[in-house]
Amino acid sequence: MKIITYNVNGVRAALKKGLADWIQKEDPDIICLQEIKVDEANAPKEIFHQLGYHQVWHSAQKKGYSGVATFSKQKPTDFGFGMNTDKFDFEGRVLRTEINGVHIYNCYFPSGSSGEERHQFKMEFLKDFQPWIENELKIRKKLIVVGDYNIVHQGMDIHNPKRKDNPSGYRPEERAWLDHWFKNHFTDAFRLMNPEKIEFSWWTYRLNTRAKNKGWRIDYISVSDNLKTNISSSGHLSDAFHSDHCPVFTNLKL
């Protein structure tokens, strides 16, 4: 099973940059998109139908903002929206689909880069997400949690680890949360398969940083520990230029 996660920074904009042809070439079994920035009524569903995918959309109530969508070649046997907390669910941040007995959680964690108020909102999300997903794990057993976490884990996951400006996304409290995440029930598929490799998944549009590869690794595919031996490969698809992010893929033998 080939899974791809991709923050497209607007699905309609990404389609204009050749996203559909790229998906057809990569041919994933499941592709999870974040920051779709479209309400379901105006979503480009026919394009994904023609590509051969079943689709589930979870849009934000605010138009042109946030949202996630999951596409799978196999029809999902179950799905669910959000995490039962209105202030997060209104922003279209968590979507669960069950495929082949595995529950895929497509997540777009809040960004705190616009100011302290949003950083605190992000920390509230993290505080609520951890016990919620642990309860999901008790119920559903086999989980894969993919998406834009908006957090750098280790110093090797950012091009300038000694920076002093304390940006949201690289603060000690967020990185500590991710430490706990990967030490309790979940495995970072990319880091498991590439323990020493330095690669990034996001670059600011400013100052030509992508060409210089001055980026951050903030997009992850986390698998519950009972699935980590099923991982056969994982990496970044850095030849995709539809967004300020690049896709992350993982292949699992199920």
Task: State which residues form the domain around 47.
Answer: 2-252
Q: What is the per-residue pLDDT for 102?
A: 98
Mean pLDDT, residues 61-69 = 97
Give the helix/strand (H/E) hosting 55: strand 54-58
Residue 228: CATH number of its domain: 3.60.10.10
Mean pLDDT, residues 145-157 = 98
Q: What is the per-residue pLDDT for 126?
A: 98
Mean pLDDT, residues 232-238 = 98
Q: What is the per-residue pLDDT for 237?
A: 98
In tens, the pLDDT along 46-56 reads 999 999 999 99
Q: What is the per-residue pLDDT for 8?
A: 98
Mean pLDDT, residues 137-150 = 97
Output phi, psi for 30, to 5 deg: -135, 135
Q: What is the per-residue pLDDT for 228?
A: 97
Mean pLDDT, residues 161-190 = 97
Q: What is the per-residue pLDDT for 118?
A: 97
* Domains identified in the chain, total number: 1
Q: What is the per-residue pLDDT for 185?
A: 95
Could you confirm whether 148 is annotated as catalytic?
A: yes
Strands 248-252 and 219-224: unpaired
Q: In what order do the strands lie in the sheet with 2-7?
A: 54-58, 68-72, 30-34, 2-7, 248-252, 231-236
Within 10 A of 66 (CB to CB), how many other CB atoms are there? 20
Mean pLDDT, residues 14-33 = 98
> Which residues, in sequence order, are CB contacts of 18 under 8 Å at separation 6+?
242
| DSSP state at residue 141 | -
Mean pLDDT, residues 15-29 = 98
Residue 32's nearest CA partner among 3, 63, 62 is: 3
Mean pLDDT, residues 169-178 = 98
**Residue of 29, 86, 89, 148 marked active site:** 148
When the pLDDT of each residue in the chain is averaged and rounded to a whole number, the result is 97
Residue 219's nearest CA partner among 67, 7, 59 is: 7
